[in-house]
A and B are shown apart, each in its own frame.
Chain A
Amino acid sequence: MFEADILLEDIREILSAVPFTLFMALVTFVFSTIIGSLFALAEYRNIPILRELIFVYKVAFKGIPLVIVIFLGYYGLPPTIQFLASLIGINFNGHHTPNWVLLVIGVTACIAAFQAEVIKGALNSFDNGQADAARSLGYTNGQLFRRVMFPQVVIAAIPDLTNSIMVIMKALSLGFAIEVVDIFAQSQLTAALNFYYLEAFVIAVVIYMIIAFLVTTAADRLERSLRVWT
């Protein structure tokens, strides 16, 4: 059914897209987690106005299909970047912004809304009695967060954060719509040249599965090694 020499050639080509896909996924993961964490903290601490704004943001970015956000970013961000740069006296042609950057911004904006819920859930799982104990002993809010809350909240969030890495990996495949070449796009391009579509997509599936296996295993090990107290 499959031709070995075609498979080997396709594997080599499709694998070449893996490092860049992983790089984009990592950048998206880091930024969406940072933004989501800030949102979650603002909600957890019940900061007025910010809390309402975050609610609106989450409704918008959880509701709008990701592909639309990507297109909005693709068409809307370059002129916006150019305008903002001009406000601070920088002459920058926004249309020179690489497409992968626009993709990462779009996916980050969407995933941040979900990461906010992940972190909020982990924060809510924290037993507040420990916070009372820390405050009664004179811990400042910062000390309480660093010493007691953060180590517990991070570990509670690991399984869901791992999920989000895989969600990001899959979301990036929509970058094909704006000419960003990730694993999926590379398999599409490879197949378009030799017409071995089934081979190319099976290779892509296997690569995605291997990445999912590695990420899940690594996260499980990390969680186990950090959760020494249970």
Chain B
Amino acid sequence: MLELKNIKLSYGNTQVLNGVDLSVNRGDVVSIIGPSGTGKTTLLKCINYLVKPSSGTIAFDQLHMDYAQADKKAIQAIRLRTAMVFQQFNVFKNMTVLQNVMDPLVVVQRKSQDEAREIALRELDRVGLSAKRDSYPSQLSGGQLQRTGIARALAVRPDVMLFDEPTSSLDPELVSEVLKVIKDVTSSGITSLLVTHEMQFAKNISNRIVFMDQGVVAADGSPAEIFDAPANPRLAQFLQTELAFH
């Protein structure tokens, strides 16, 4: 369904992605783990072109694009089929919770106000935020903000959900409410890529784990292969550190 080949990207003199290959099948829930600064978030943002790789290709079903000759139509087509949940929530501060979820449906998908409202209310109910629909972001907790972000992403009916460290900015007591929603989303069968440091959660919800190190995919396998019998020494070291920390 989604295939990235030889993705390279650098910030100034720092090479962040060194030729990443990654393919995702429909219905996959892929967790991307790895040390900080190894390019996990950057890779996710390459998919919807929020960052611009210097080279590499992306194939999204029938759609193919070479990043060296990126074209606007292909980028827009990919963006319309994906939705991202951000580490910093990135909800629109000038809109209520309901408006945040409705706005992309009205502005981008050209749905009527009534239809958009109906979809938005359904998604808000799904993430448990119906009671907060008229609140502004400044009146919400981190967990509620992130659930707004998730509802907004779900409302556009994406083929692929991209979760970028969705719980990293949350207070510990708010993490579980967001993980519960993500678990509900991923178990519904939607293809998902999740960058996370929540190892146990990744193990529980994913059917594949990708370990990134120094800008490349260093290991790729089932949760059992990655967590129970890590073949890669860097992966073993990383898991030891992460599990000791948590």
The 10 A-B pairs at the shortest CB distance, nearest first, are namely A133-B90, A229-B136, A129-B90, A138-B108, A137-B104, A136-B84, A151-B94, A138-B79, A138-B80, A129-B88
B213 interfacial by beta-carbon distance below 8 Å: no
A132 interfacial by beta-carbon distance below 8 Å: yes
Q: A132-B50, A143-B108, A229-B137 are in contact. Are A137 and B92 (CB under 8 A)?
A: no
Q: Which of B99-129 contact A (CB under 8 A)?
A: 103-104, 107-109
Q: A147-B103, A229-B138 are in contact. Are A136 and B108 (CB under 8 A)?
A: no
Asked if residues B84 and A133 are in contact (CB atoms below 8 Å), the reply is yes
A221 interfacial by beta-carbon distance below 8 Å: no
Asked if residues A152 and B86 are in contact (CB atoms below 8 Å), the reply is no
Q: Count the A-B residue pairs with Cβ separation under 8 angstroms: how many?
A: 71
A148–B94 CA distance with the chains assembled, in angstroms: 7
Distance in Å: Cβ of A141 to nearest Cβ of chain B: 11
Asked if residues A138 and B138 are in contact (CB atoms below 8 Å), the reply is no
Question: Which chain B residues lie closer than 8 Å to A130 at the CB level?
Answer: 90-93
Question: Which chain B residues lie closer than 8 Å to A143 at the CB level?
Answer: 107-108
Asked if residues B92 and A129 are in contact (CB atoms below 8 Å), the reply is no
Distance in Å: Cβ of B9 to nearest Cβ of chain A: 16
Q: Which of A147-185 contact B (CB under 8 A)?
A: 147-148, 151-152
Interface footprint category on A: 10 to 19
Interface footprint category on B: 20 to 34
B interface list, Cβ under 8 A from A: 45, 48, 50, 76, 79-80, 82-84, 86, 88-96, 103-104, 107-109, 136-138, 149, 152-153, 156, 162
For A148, the closest partner residue in chain B by CB is: B92
A135–B51 CA distance with the chains assembled, in angstroms: 11
Question: Which chain A residues lie closer than 8 Å to B136 at the CB level?
Answer: 228-230
Q: A139-B107, A228-B136 are in contact. Are A134 and B79 (CB under 8 A)?
A: no
Distance in Å: Cβ of B141 to nearest Cβ of chain A: 16
Distance in Å: Cβ of A225 to nearest Cβ of chain B: 13
A138–B106 CA distance with the chains assembled, in angstroms: 12
Asked if residues A229 and B94 are in contact (CB atoms below 8 Å), the reply is yes
A150–B21 CA distance with the chains assembled, in angstroms: 39
For A131, the closest partner residue in chain B by CB is: B90
Distance in Å: Cβ of A106 to nearest Cβ of chain B: 37
**Contact indicator per residue, chain A 192-230, by CB within 8 Å of chain B (1) or not (0):** 000000000000000000000000000000000000111
**15 additional A-B residue pairs with CB within 8 Å, beyond A138-B104, A152-B94:** A127-B90, A127-B93, A129-B88, A130-B92, A133-B90, A133-B152, A135-B79, A136-B162, A137-B156, A138-B80, A139-B104, A143-B108, A148-B94, A148-B95, A229-B138
